[in-house]
Amino acid sequence: MQTNFTPEQLQDPELKVANGILRTCVHCGFCTATCPTFVELGDELDSPRGRIYLIKDMLESGRPASELEARHIDRCLSCLSCMTTCPSGVNYMHLVDHARRHVEETYTRPLPERALRSVLAMLLPHPGRFRWAMRLAKLGKPLRGLIPGQGTTAKRLRAMLELAPEHIPAPQPVTGTHPAEGARRGRVAMLAGCAQQVLDPEINAATIRLLTRMGYEVVVPPAAGCCGALTHHMGRHDPAMATARANILAWDAEIAAGGLDGIIVNASGCGTTVKDYGFMFRNEPEAEAAARVSALAMDITEALARFDYTPSRTAPPFTVAYHSACSLQHGQKITALPKQLLAKAGFVVKEPAEGHLCCGSAGTYNMMQPEISAKLKARKLANIRRTGAAVVAAGNIGCLTQIGAGGPPTVHTVQLLDWMAGGPKPKAIEGL
Amino acid sequence: MIRLPAPKPEVMARRPQILAGLAALVPADALITEELRLRPYETDGLAAYRQMPLAVVLPRTTEEVAAVLRFCHQQGVRVIPRGAGTSLSGGALPLADAVVVGLMRMNHILDINFEDRYAVVEAGVTNIGITQAVAGDGFFYAPDPSSQLACMIGGNVMMNSGGAHCLKYGVTANNLLGVKFVTIEGEIFEVGGTHLDGAGYDWLGLITGSEGQLGMVTEVTVRILRGPEGARAMLAAFSSIPIAGQAVDAIIGSGIIPVALEFMDRPCIHACEAFAHAGYPLDAEAMLIIEVEGSVAEQDALLARIRDICAQFSPISMKVAESAEQSLAIWKGRKGAFGAVGRISPDYLCMDGTIPTGELPFVLGRITQMSEQYGLGVANVFHAGDGNLHPLIMFDANDPASFAKAEAFGADILKLCVEVGGCLTGEHGVGVEKRDLMTVQFTADELDLQRAIKSAFDPAWLLNPAKVFPLEGNKVLDAA
């Protein structure tokens, strides 16, 4: 596609990358068909091709973003379904990341929205703060119907309270070194994450149990924390880079200290970002370390396949619907692996129709875009119910929370795999 | 750059009133008027041509479409129908004084009847969406343009779209039973029905392929077919383009009609393999994808005969897909071919000429020579079985000289198609892209006769007016 950047603009390394991405697009329109927001809203402006065009126009002109650009870019889930579909290989992820940063830096959002975004950016990446917020939200949840009005802010506040879990589990700290059981086969680092360890600490516990049982030492350096995805997707460049940098330095120190056979991520939204550190830091002093970290990053299912996961129990005869998180299937192109592992563990695995469409969770999307998110959730739940499965397995905490509220019980894939390899039965399916 | 008719000054001057009038007809979220939000609607699958419209309307019902057309007719405002915006001939290119009417929100399946084998769907349902809706019961909708994932059935009707499997099953016209049709005056007609060949004149035949110039289609009734027992694709790789062309001619000449017989040359094979990982032969100058279907015995017999024929042309390799996944990957590469060329060239012009299959070796040889003369790369991927060429001319849109050369190269290819007894367009439509070449195919009298049909439906030439016919000699559009 033709672009109209001046030679001066192309001196900017970020714009140069954006120009390269735009020039790969041939405007064929295939991406529109598999974009959840285009399918729901039926407007070119809410399709990848339309957004690419809006972004192109905005960046070429160099003008500050306006409410209109913010509106359509904010409606993008960053599910990256378009990248799976695109025959030309357009890197939409890097383009929309660039655009989100441009919006964040040049457009002043209305005060209530700015406040909400700031609160989310302050709370979510910090487990301690987030746990307190969840406790308060739980108290406020029964009162959500009392929030007056049909305005965007009111809807967002109601959506936030709606998401607060009924039960907030006790914290299970995981920092430190978890030695391998029996002969040590290797050593890995694990991303402990942020929101996930508050909402469901059992996911990290199951990951550590399974890996140590398989003979891997698991280290969780105390200096590593949130991966930066939440703020990165809000366009908040500096905080995202700061948290990512902390992880890079912490893990690179572990690489130097004892060597690592992998950096294990069990929330695929985070995994997509950690695998992108190499790109994010390409012009930073930590470029080499970031590239090392990205090269070692792997989803827990990739690690289990590589380390030759073997079950030790006979699975109960119930059917598992495997929900393919967008960050896993589109962001990391991991599609068959989790299903193969679940089948190896002995489960009957079914895949819901329209598996390429996002469930509407998408980081903070279900709070910031509650209406579109609710439509996608209803669509996803209907497709899941048609499988007749008793339980839903997925590899991302966002999806598990979104689908779990109103659908069949949800568990992380690793919890089922740990169970079949000698771990406890996941609490969510105790009754089954 | 293509010439567009001058905007009507009286329409441009009354823009605020026209927008207010439209706003009274559709919900607020169905009308787009801000310049910034109109921008992504300035083009379609032929991104080299761009023009901002006056406004965009996204109706949800036939009644809304009718109301908008009626209003535009009263106000003398031009209308550009739009589906998914995947046209490669610029079929949905706007005009500065025109309202784009997009049917993307009319995406519901209305009725499926397996007993009588038809489906009634809204015009904004994607081509593949029809097959997906009936596949669970073993049925499919046959025409399958490469853009079938995204392109919409209303657009398929308007362009009489084809696809790889049309060699056996025919194009849109052969699979269409009826449409709901809205005239520029806002009248709603039902044309055809739920069975083949309605009573009276064949209005359906006239509307199919009319490129949005006679009216807008909002609902479509199509024939659905029971799927074959099975299908298998094979790849045959050859050492030169003309030799592969001879193999195509020999297969068709033997009386075998495969379901699909597709051709790809070296640049295309490499680009598509990078996207689809289908195991395409990277050492070949040209490759054929040949698909047969039926019972296993039928497939085996046909594949054996096809292998024997190909063997006479010293193939580099021949490979039959061994699983459904392999077949899928082979087709994923073919269907994504145009986009995949985006990996090796920033821009391309996709030609769409049709020639007698006997002329394939000659025409392909000439295209290679022209590519050298113009100094522009060309990737060939096309429906070889029915002689429908799709040379993709690679150029750089950021270099105006390169674009001008590409346009001239394309025109030369299409002239060559007509010269050897073929036609300007196989399935993409004339649109705006091939408009000025119509004089190569038709005499002035023939063009006037066709224009008279358009005038009978739309005397003021409000519907998609700058397409299909050259502006020169148009008594309504070019009067000024």
Q: Which of A106, A127, A144 is the last residue of a domain?
A: A106
The CA distance from A78 to the nearest CA of chain B, in Å, is: 19
Give B22's pLDDT tier (boundaries 50, 70, 90).
Answer: very high
Using a CB-CB cut-off of 8 Å, the residues of chain B touching A83 are: none
Cβ contact B431:B87 at 8 Å: yes
In a domain, A385, yes or no: yes
Same domain assignment for residues A139 and A246 = no
The Cα A96–Cα A362 span in angstroms is: 14
pLDDT at res. B323: 86
* Crossing angle (nearest 10°) for helices A397-404 and A370-385: 80
Same domain assignment for residues A180 and A242 = yes
The Cα A188–Cα A220 span in angstroms is: 9
The Cα A46–Cα A44 span in angstroms is: 5
- Test the B interface: residue of A3, A30, A85 with most B CBs within 10 Å: A30
Q: Which of A68, A85, A106 is the last residue of a domain?
A: A106
Interface touch B43/A89, C-beta < 8 Å: no
Report whether pLDDT(B443) > 70: yes
- Residue A285's Cβ-side half-sphere holds a number of Cα atoms within 13 Å equal to 3
Same domain assignment for residues A319 and A391 = yes
Among A32, A54, A72, the residue with its CB nearest the CB of B150 is: A32
- Test the A interface: residue of B42, B87, B108, B149 with most A CBs within 10 Å: B149
Same domain assignment for residues A182 and A229 = yes
Interface touch B86/A29, C-beta < 8 Å: yes
In a domain, A20, yes or no: yes
In a domain, A332, yes or no: yes
* 3-state secondary structure at position B222: strand
Same domain assignment for residues A66 and A101 = yes
The Cα B348–Cα B403 span in angstroms is: 9
* Crossing angle (nearest 10°) for helices A413-420 and A336-344: 30
End-to-end CA distance of chain A: 54
pLDDT at res. B342: 86
Q: Does B49 touch chain A (CB under 8 A)?
A: no
CB within 8 Å of B83: residues ≥ 6 apart? B92, B102, B103, B104, B123, B124, B151, B152, B154, B155, B158
The CA distance from A272 to the nearest CA of chain B, in Å, is: 20
Work out the number of other CB atoms within 10 angstroms of the CB of residue B202.
13
In a domain, A345, yes or no: yes
In a domain, A285, yes or no: yes
In a domain, A205, yes or no: yes
Interface touch B338/A28, C-beta < 8 Å: yes
Using a CB-CB cut-off of 8 Å, the residues of chain A touching B37 are: 45, 54, 68, 72
Per the listing, tokens 């040590």 go with A184
The Cα A285–Cα B340 span in angstroms is: 35
What is the DSSP annotation of B119-166?
A: EEEETTSBHHHHHHHHHTTTEE-----TTTTT-BHHHHHHHT---TTH
Each of the 432 residues of chain A gets a pLDDT tens digit; together they read: 999 999 999 999 999 999 999 999 999 999 999 999 999 999 999 999 999 999 999 999 999 999 999 999 999 999 999 999 999 999 999 999 999 999 999 999 999 999 999 999 999 999 999 999 999 999 889 888 888 888 899 999 999 998 888 888 999 999 999 999 999 999 999 999 999 999 999 999 999 999 999 999 999 999 999 999 999 999 999 999 999 999 999 999 999 998 999 999 999 999 999 999 999 999 999 999 999 999 999 999 999 999 999 999 998 988 999 999 999 999 999 999 999 999 999 999 999 999 999 999 999 999 999 999 999 999 999 999 999 999 999 999 999 999 998 889 999 999 999 999 999 999 999 988
pLDDT at res. B460: 96
Q: Which amino acid is at B276?
A: A
The arithmetic mean of pLDDT across residues B99-117, rounded, is 97
Q: List the beta bridge partners of residue A253.
A: none
Domains of chain B: 109-226 (3.30.465.10), 231-338 (3.30.70.2190), 345-419 (3.30.70)
Cβ contact A224:A248 at 8 Å: no
The arithmetic mean of pLDDT across residues B239-244, rounded, is 91
Size of interface A-B (CB pairs under 8 A): 114
Number of independent structural domains in chain A:
4
Same domain assignment for residues A88 and A119 = no
Same domain assignment for residues A138 and A219 = no
Least confident of A319-333, B84-98, B263-277: B263-277
The Cα B359–Cα B417 span in angstroms is: 9
Q: List the beta bridge partners of residue B391.
A: B380
Find, in chain A, the residue whose alpha carbon is nearest to that of B60.
Answer: A42
Give B476's pLDDT tier (boundaries 50, 70, 90).
Answer: confident
Tokens, residue B318: 């021949």
* 3-state secondary structure at position B77: coil
Q: Which amino acid is at B8?
A: K
Which of these, A124, A31, A81, lies nearest to A328 by C-alpha position?
A81
The Cα B217–Cα B343 span in angstroms is: 35
Among A33, A53, A87, the residue with its CB nearest the CB of B336 is: A87
Domain that residue A362 falls in: 309-429
The CA distance from A96 to the nearest CA of chain B, in Å, is: 16
pLDDT at res. A77: 98
* CATH number where A35 lies: 1.10.1060.10
pLDDT at res. B473: 82
DSSP B244: H
Report whether pLDDT(B304) > 90: yes
Residue B317: which H helix or E strand, with range? strand B317-320
Residue B120: phi and psi, rounded to 5, are -110, 120
Report whether pLDDT(B113) > 80: yes
The predicted complex's ipTM stands at 0.93
CA angle in degrees (0–180, nearest 5) for B304-B308-B314: 135
pTM, two decimals, is 0.95
Average pLDDT, chain B: 94
What is the DSSP annotation of A7-66?
A: TTGGGSHHHHHHHHHHHH-----HHHHT-HHHHHH--GGGSHHHHHHHHHHHHHHTPPP-
pLDDT tens digits along B339-363 = 888 888 989 999 999 999 889 889 9
In a domain, A304, yes or no: no
What is the DSSP annotation of A333-374?
A: ---HHHHHHHHHTT-EEE--TTTTS--S-TTTHHHHSHHHHH
Which of these, B427, B434, B381, B339, lies nearest to B155 by C-alpha position?
B427
Report whether pLDDT(B480) > 50: no
Per the listing, tokens 């020169």 go with B472
* CATH number where A246 lies: 3.40.50
Dihedral of CA A337/A338/A340/A345: which sign?
A: positive
pLDDT tens digits along B317-326 = 999 998 888 8
Cβ contact A192:A178 at 8 Å: no
- Test the A interface: residue of B1, B34, B36, B399 with most A CBs within 10 Å: B36
The CA distance from B448 to the nearest CA of chain A, in Å, is: 33
In a domain, A2, yes or no: no
Find, in chain A, the residue whose alpha carbon is nearest to that of B145.
Answer: A30
Same domain assignment for residues A76 and A16 = yes
Interface touch B40/A44, C-beta < 8 Å: yes
Find, in chain A, the residue whose alpha carbon is nearest to that of B30.
Answer: A43
Which of these, B388, B338, B330, B324, lies nearest to B160 by C-alpha position?
B388
Same domain assignment for residues A97 and A126 = no
Same domain assignment for residues A61 and A135 = no
Q: Which amino acid is at B75?
A: Q
Q: Which of A247, A281, A299 is the last residue of a domain?
A: A299
* CATH number where A345 lies: 3.40.50.1860
Same domain assignment for residues A208 and A295 = yes
Same domain assignment for residues A269 and A335 = no
